[in-house]
Amino acid sequence: MSPISTRKHGDILIVTSNNPPVNALGHAVREGLVAAVAEADGDEAVKAVVIVCQGQTFFAGADITEFGKPMQLPMLPTVVDIIENCTKPVVAAIHGTAFGGGLEVALASHYRVALPSAKLGVPEVKLGLLPGAGGTQRLPRVAGVEKALEMAATGNPIGAVEAHGLGLVDRLIEGDLEQHAVAFAEEVKDIRPIPKSSERDDKLAAARANPQVFADFRKANGRKFRGFEAPEKNIQAIEAAVAKPYAEGVLDERRLFMELMTGRQARAQQYFFFAERKAAKIDGIPEETLPREIKRVGVIGAGTMGGGISMNFLSAGIPVTIVEMAQEALDRGAGVMRKNYEATAAKGKMTASQVEGAMGLLNPTLDFDALADCDLIIEAVFENMDVKKEIFTKLDAICKPGAILASNTSYLSIDEIAAATKRPQDVLGLHFFSPANVMKLLEVVRGAKTAPDVLVTAMQLAKRIKKVAVVAGVCYGFIGNRMLIPRQMQAMQLLLEGATPEQVDRVHVEFGMPMGPFQMSDLAGVDIGWHRDPNRIENIRDALCAIDRWGQKKGAGFYDYDEKRNPSPSPVVQGIIDDFRAKAGVEKREISDQEIIERTLYTMVNEGALILEGGFAQRASDIDVVWVYGYGWPVYRGGPMHWADGEGLDKIVAGIRNQLSRLGGDFKLSDMLVKKAEAGEKFTR
């Protein structure tokens, strides 16, 4: 049965799509839309058409699962042209998300009405694409060039109220969408000529007179778009809309769309779209498992981590009891949270009353027993097993039955922590990434005894607080930090052999990482995990810490920093490196950029394979989600495992073997990686 059905209401033809979950514009939908327009054209009794969708949303875009397969006709660009050329006025009735191809259908319709809660956007750029069904040509004509540029190149949607202000939505509907859309269609059914987006050019005039807008836009967003191919091609397509007649502009759009579609970045970004959604699925848990109810969250520790974690819940409207040992620390923690919220409000992203609303849900206290009525308690104190065990023993004594007990540990064994309680089934790890109120990743650490409903609760809660959760098993550093270890070790070793911090960092930044290993170390604190004995100097890091070079916070780390925190190469650090090299009897040599990639990134891929081998990640794509959301791995490279697949696993193995003598005695080559390389298999896709 076609997902598109039609029925008449008086002289209005109502065309309804029912293609769950998001009314993606797959083949059957496209065919159905073409047939519906033909029906309207061929039926004299029909005076206008309303297109409306059932379920949670208006068309959320082309069906991404069809990409990369032979496309079945009619293609979407043809469908939208057929809609625009309908001889009766077509009204798109929008709710939910009119995204991508969905907005293109709406733009080809002659009128758009929407619920105020609807969102309109062209997120194709996030899939490494551009709106390829006339969107780059029609959107600037309807919403104006500047708005179209912003929407297409960033992929961020706008709300229906803003869209109404721009003329992208003709009328906001309060109440029953379909009923009001039909009434609207009645009002416009006789208006001639029928207004067509492709024939307008009033909103192009300003950019035609001042093509500088494009250069300005590129300049303003250069940093944000660094490394990505799609934003630039979105800009070029809109430039074509301004510079050329519609018929020529769409040809440019098609060419640019195909260039992107056949490229490696689009493949990686589309892969990642599904990887992110797959991460939410937990292996080996019955689908009917119900989550526990979380009405109040407790957080132990009001430091940077505890405060950031609390903010996630407060922002989602979930009350938080935060516990500290001393009033001063408690006040400081609450003060920082308030300041963070106020900074968000100052940027216009929150209202003053929302700030008060969030802070009003916070219950700061010195009384540990106040955690007794919390449904989930997250411990966020410093990394010390004895301290954590003591806290969990206390929690076990006071928390209500069924409460979930979580640790925010980055490295320590959840099983050992759980063993300090009589309810290990209620214990798990919730590893937030710093700054916890900003970073999207949440590693959900599944202990040997963690109950299925505890895991399900964690995954659902993650969604509620807008995090992307990935399940990890209990191993040192879980997924993310465990893979960081070989990278940092090799980066440090490379310094001894002749590379400089600047060179190693540059290679990583050119690869697309937001910063290199040494820049990251300086930002996070060189002293993190340091043994704190200035007389025990066993490596370069110890030497830096011993002379207070703890990173940006001290104005010195692997780099020197000025008052504005601008880095410059440090002769002191170079001296330390030279000393260590001499002591270790290592000969200085020229290090190639390729060697840096092989030593730091190939070894990470190998560690990822070891994690999979050990069953500490459910699937390779979960590892990629961790690295994109936790460490800023460039999404256009898909994540380390997807990137390795693209490079060729045989190349990765050969590169590692090539470096084997330099990787250190502890290095272990993954059997899984070798076997996959030999069999010509991949980790992902």
2 near 38, Cβ under 8 Å? no
Query: Of the two residues 95 and 423, which places its CB atom closer to ligand 3H9 in the complex?
Result: 95
The distance of closest approach from Cβ of residue 201 to ligand 3H9 in the complex, given in angstroms and rounded to an integer, is: 22
Q: Which is nearer to ligand 3H9, 138 or 676 (CB)?
A: 138
Of 108 and 299, which CB lies nearer to ligand 3H9 in the complex structure?
A: 108
Asked whether the beta carbons of 427 and 450 are under 8 A apart, the reply is yes
- Least Å from the CB of residue 167 to ligand 3H9: 21
Contact between 672 and 619 (Cβ < 8 Å):
no
Question: What is the C-alpha separation between 170 and 451, in angstroms, rounded?
Answer: 51
Kindly state the smallest distance separating residue 169's Cβ from ligand 3H9, in Å: 18
Helices (H), 92-194: 101-108, 135-143, 145-154, 160-166, 177-188
Write out the two tokens for 561: 């920093």
What does the block give as tokens for 148? 């179209």
Cβ proximity to ligand 3H9, 21 vs 665, nearer residue: 21
Q: Which amino acid is at 629?
A: Y
> Do the Cβ atoms of 621 and 612 come closer than 8 Å?
no
- Residue keyed to tokens 């510079």: 243
Taking the C-alpha atoms of residue 500 and residue 364, their distance in angstroms, rounded to an integer, is 46
User: Tokens for 378?
Assistant: 């997250």
Backbone angles phi, psi at 559, to 5 degrees: -120, 165
Identify the active-site residue in 39, 66, 124, 590.
Answer: 124
Give me the least distance between CB of 21 and ligand 3H9, in Å please: 4
CB of 79 to ligand 3H9, least distance (A): 9
- Asked if 313 and 320 touch (Cβ cutoff 8 Å), the reply is yes
Instruction: Decide whether 63 or 426 has the Cβ nearer to ligand 3H9.
Output: 63
First and final C-alpha spacing in the chain: 31
Quick one: tokens of 671? Answer: 């059997």
Looking at beta carbons only, is 246 or 511 nearer to ligand 3H9? 246
Quick check: helix, strand or coil at residue 615? coil
In 262-411, which ranges are continuous DSSP H helix? 264-278, 304-315, 327-346, 352-360, 385-398
Q: Shortest approach of ligand 3H9 to residue 97 CB, angstroms?
A: 5
Minimum Å distance from CB 465 to ligand 3H9?
14
**Shortest Cβ distance from residue 259 to ligand 3H9 (Å)?**
14
Going by C-beta distance under 8 Å and a sequence separation of 6 or more, which residues neighbour residue 488?
Answer: 517, 521
Shortest approach of ligand 3H9 to residue 553 CB, angstroms? 38
Nearest to 495, CA basis, from 518, 470, 515: 518
Around 325, how many Cα atoms within 13 Å sit in the side-chain half-sphere?
A: 4
Kindly state the DSSP code that residue 644 receives in the 8-state scheme: H
CA-to-CA distance for 574 and 29, rounded, in angstroms?
Answer: 64
Instruction: Take residue 361 and report the two structure tokens written for it.
Output: 């849900």
Nearer to ligand 3H9, 60 or 302 (CB): 60
Nearest to ligand 3H9 of 258, 586 (CB atom):
258
Smallest gap from Cβ 233 to ligand 3H9, in A, equals 13
Q: Which helix (H) or strand (E) holds 179?
A: helix 177-188
Q: Measure the CA–CA gap between 98 and 59, rounded to whole angstroms.
A: 6
Contact residues toward ligand 3H9 (CB under 6 A) are 21-22, 24, 57, 60-65, 76, 97, 99-101, 104, 123-124, 127, 129, 131-133, 135, 277
3-state SS class at 19: coil
Burial of 384: CB neighbours in 10 Å, binned 0-12, 13-18, 19+: exposed
Task: Clarify whether 563 is annotated catalytic.
Answer: no
Residue 145 C-beta: closest distance to ligand 3H9, Å:
19
Alpha carbons within 13 angstroms on the beta-carbon side of residue 265 total 22
104 carries an active-site annotation: yes
Q: Give whichever of 104 and 443 is closer to ligand 3H9, judged by the CB atom.
A: 104
Encoded amino acid at 164, one letter:
H
Say which residues have a Cβ less than 8 Å from residue 437's Cβ, sequence separation at least 6: 307, 308, 309, 311, 312, 315, 340
Nearer to ligand 3H9, 85 or 425 (CB): 85
Catalytic residue among 84, 104, 324, 607: 104
How many angstroms separate the CA atoms of 525 and 611, rounded?
A: 26
Please say whether the beta carbons of 33 and 70 come within 8 A: no
Closer to ligand 3H9 by CB, 101 or 640: give it.
101
Q: Which residue has the tokens 């390729």?
A: 594
Q: Are 371 and 300 in contact (CB under 8 A)?
A: yes
Residue 285 token pair: 């848990």
By the 8 A CB rule, do 185 and 143 touch?
Answer: no
Task: Please list the active-site residues.
Answer: 104, 124
